Structure 1
């Protein structure tokens, strides 16, 4: 990572770390929406799986169907974090952490890098005690990320466009962005980078890599989980202007 890119990333990381409360509230509201209707472990897990799978712009429904058939017909494998990882990896002796969880999801039909990373991150959030949930699915899910394990950022078009804005000479993708961040930030810091999607989403307009970086209130309103009162909107707009200043002359 060259000096200029390093400086830009560190400045962006500082912004994300200082403003975690905004996306934390949005994510907490989102998790509550798809967990609140369900009481059983199985139903909560199914809800999270369906929610994440359908974040894809063009989910491969026929392929995903075989995965869901497999999960619904193996309920005995869903009762703990450990047994679910064994189920995903087909390996009873693997390490039971979030890195193994990610790679296990990546083996499943219809799941790619982004959705596997997003599901893994969501499971971590639902068990680390910071989002209003305590052991929401499994009692044995780790509440902290081991510093030796790799955590993957759920990279999509919003994040690719942001990295293109920082360094347009590189053809960014899921693997390049995660390799860069994993080489320079700890596993816990990687989880902070997850907030980048929120700030990028509400401050971009258009499509493709050369989209405009501008406060996009319509996108903020499109998110059901955001606060819609005038004070909250003014505050998020002001904070977004601080985010956008990080990209001036870049």
Structure 2
């Protein structure tokens, strides 16, 4: 993806760099939140296959309006191919197994690709899944097997990924709003991931870093009612605003409650970064 507006590209690069370094400094807050969620998804289940099924269901259920009929076909296919999931030991095994529950009309690409991209592509072809939910699943697998906080949750063997691998960011309305605020025109899942990839703002130590945008965006966004102006129909509209929203922090199961003063300070910094003019890179 190439941004042709040079001034706009420089401003966006500056803003993304600010956000990237903010996320690096504050990684530990969302790690705590995510670890609690992964424990709920993984620990109750006794073997690799059941852990994977739990994670797939968990991510599919994040959709606001998923199709139960489509997902039903995927869950049925998963049941029919369960023996393959029982034999999974490595990330390569997992990528191959995910193609078994993909829509049979979708063909596996012939071109060689990274195992993470293979996993994401396969799952986007499973009925009821989309780019965001597929990205959430891949992200959860990587987090569980690469972050020290999740050592007690890992279940795949010999888990390694290349520092060159790019993980798709699970873009939702919260993240779309952030990119709108920082000046990316018509943001979308594809466009946002393209911009992040283009600027090379990645961390080999924390490959899922950009997903932290959801946490910071979630607690710094609020829906507000806008009254109609004179002459308009008397219908109020709801708009999303960037401002601290403390109740959302307390609503998260597993939230680091004892760290709220530090989180509040960091959230105010994040809000300022998102809403202020960009610092242009040298």
Using the size of structure 1 for normalisation, the TM-score is 0.89
Does the alignment pair 1:145 with 2:162?
yes
Does the alignment pair 1:158 with 2:174?
yes
Does the alignment pair 1:58 with 2:90?
no
Structure 2 stretches of 5 or more lacking a match? 4-8, 101-107, 225-236, 278-282
Q: Compared with structure 1, are the counterparts of its residues 29 and 58 closer, same or farther at alpha carbon in structure 2 (3 Å cutoff)?
A: same
For residue 216 of structure 1, what is the aligned residue in structure 2? 245
Q: Distance in 1 between matches of 2:135 and 2:159?
A: 16
Does the alignment pair 1:239 with 2:254?
no
Q: Deviations over 1:53-93 (max 9, x none)?
A: 00001121110011011112212221233233223336698
Output aligned runs, 1:15-30, within 5 Å: 15-30=22-37
Q: Distance in 1 between matches of 2:273 and 2:17?
A: 11
Output aligned runs, 1:1-250, within 5 Å: 1=3, 2-78=9-85, 79-80=88-89, 81-89=91-99, 97-133=115-151, 136-142=154-160, 144-147=161-164, 149-167=165-183, 170-185=185-200, 188=203, 191-206=208-223, 211-229=240-258, 232-250=259-277
4+ aligned runs moved over 6 Å, structure 1: none
Structure 1 stretches of 5 or more lacking a match? none
Contact 2:20 2:201 in 1 (8 A): no
Contact 2:182 2:275 in 1 (8 A): no
Compute the displacement of 1:155 (Å).
0.5
Q: Deviations over 1:151-186 (max 9, x none)?
A: 211001000000000006x10000000111111125
Give the match's secondary structure for 1:244. helix
Q: Distance in 2 between matches of 1:139 and 1:77?
A: 16
Compute the displacement of 1:188 (Å).
3.8
Q: Distance in 1 between matches of 2:246 and 2:70?
A: 36
Give the match's secondary structure for 1:102. helix
Q: Deviations over 1:97-147 (max 9, x none)?
A: 1111111111111110000111111111111143322572321443x3341
Contact 1:145 1:188 in 2 (8 A): no
Using the size of structure 2 for normalisation, the TM-score is 0.80
Contact 1:127 1:141 in 2 (8 A): yes
Q: Distance in 1 between matches of 2:162 and 2:202?
A: 7
